[in-house]
Structure 1
Amino acid sequence: MNKAIFLDRDGVLNKERKDYVKTVQELELFANIETCISKIKKNSFLAIVITNQSAVNRGLTSHKNINEIHDYIQNYLKKFNTKIDAFYYCPHQPNENCDCRKPKIKLIEQAALDFKIDLSKSWMIGDHQKDFDAGKTAGCKSIKISHSSELDIVLDKIFLKS
């Protein structure tokens, strides 16, 4: 079985915008994400993004734009010989009551099936309580961070424990 670090996207890998990250042009990656993703991979964890992207169903962006944003992140990371193993996103608005919008856990469960992940040996890292709650409900250890610079520090603590 594999181990994973599940990461929220906005506020963890890139700057969060009040009006959503709708296009590649609006994406502002945090300075240290290549170091953090490399650290995850070097410690034999999968790096998987689990993100709510309600801007899609709000009509503010498209699935195509979300996929272009994820491709851009991958191409950026490729320059540093690292990558995110997969991106899973929920396009639904909170009032749609779907099973995939965090804090619900359908996307984490799907990733666990797709990659044969042992959730009890995995972590969820996010900047909102719903990220923390999703990880806990799925059976992962969860950590809530409040600033992008914390990701590197949190990863060091995780890898000291593993």
Structure 2
Amino acid sequence: MKAVFMDLFGTLGEANPFRLYHGVPRALKKLNEANMKVFLFSNHEQFIPSFGEITGQLENYNARLDDFYHCSHLPNEDCHCHKPKPGLLHQAAKDYRLDLKKCFVIGDTGNADMLAAHAVRAKKILVLTGNGKRSIRHFRYTWGEVKPDFVARDLNEAVNWILLQR
């Protein structure tokens, strides 16, 4: 089974208050119609809206998220799940019996999202929304030799690319 993991802020929407970017529900619905699992994964230091709050914004569009994985640790704590460590991805793989090499990770930060994806050999998609442009222009050195498999304008373009890879 293939799945798509998405970072929350900068990829799906903005924080304070949480608001989805334009076109996100349509992009998620495309993945749902393709029978792909769709997961969110996020670090604790970000303001985390409830899973219900996020899914509530998607209900009117018949778009679905399958699960939400988040790290409850601070960056300086020694845990296995705080991105860029891949613990959240490993937990989802265990819960849903996924082969992470056949999965996709979409995010707006190279030094967290792309490194986590690289650690499990998932396909890496960097979106230019949120911190995406800064991550690629000003902070590229923080994620070394790791290269995204695709750079997308936004989530919709990322999803279209994923659907072409099937």
Q: TM-score, normalised by structure 2?
A: 0.80
Q: Distance in 1 between matches of 2:45 and 2:165?
A: 35
Question: Which of 1 and 2 has higher RCO (CA within 8 Å, sep 6+)?
Answer: 1
Q: Distance in 1 between matches of 2:72 and 2:45?
A: 5
* CA RMSD, 1 decimal: 1.6
Task: Tell me if the contact between 1:100 and 1:107 (Cα under 8 Å) persists in the aligned partners.
Answer: yes
Task: Tell me if the contact between 2:3 and 2:104 (Cα under 8 Å) persists in the aligned partners.
Answer: yes
- Partner of residue 37 from structure 2, selected from 46, 71, 87: 46
TM-superposed deviation, 1:69: 2.8
- Partner of residue 142 from structure 1, selected from 124, 132, 138: 124
Structure 1 consecutive aligned stretches of length 4 or more whose deviation exceeds 2 Å:
none
Q: TM-score, normalised by structure 1?
A: 0.82
Task: Tell me if the contact between 1:50 and 1:107 (Cα under 8 Å) persists in the aligned partners.
Answer: yes
SS in 1 for 2:50: helix
The total of aligned residue pairs comes to 143
Task: Tell me if the contact between 2:14 and 2:21 (Cα under 8 Å) persists in the aligned partners.
Answer: yes
- One-letter amino acid of the structure 2 residue matched with residue 116 of structure 1: R
Please name the residue that 1:58 is paired with.
Answer: none
- Partner of residue 127 from structure 1, selected from 95, 98, 108: 108
Please name the residue that 1:152 is paired with.
Answer: 156
Unmatched runs of 5 consecutive residues or more in structure 2: 131-152
- What are the superposed Cα offsets for residues 63-116 of structure 1, whole Å, 9 maximum, x if unpaired? xxx4x5321111121221121000000122211121110110111011011111
Please name the residue that 2:137 is paired with.
Answer: none
Please name the residue that 2:57 is paired with.
Answer: 76
Unmatched runs of 5 consecutive residues or more in structure 1: 56-60
Task: Tell me if the contact between 2:11 and 2:154 (Cα under 8 Å) persists in the aligned partners.
Answer: no
- One-letter amino acid of the structure 1 residue matched with residue 120 of structure 2: A
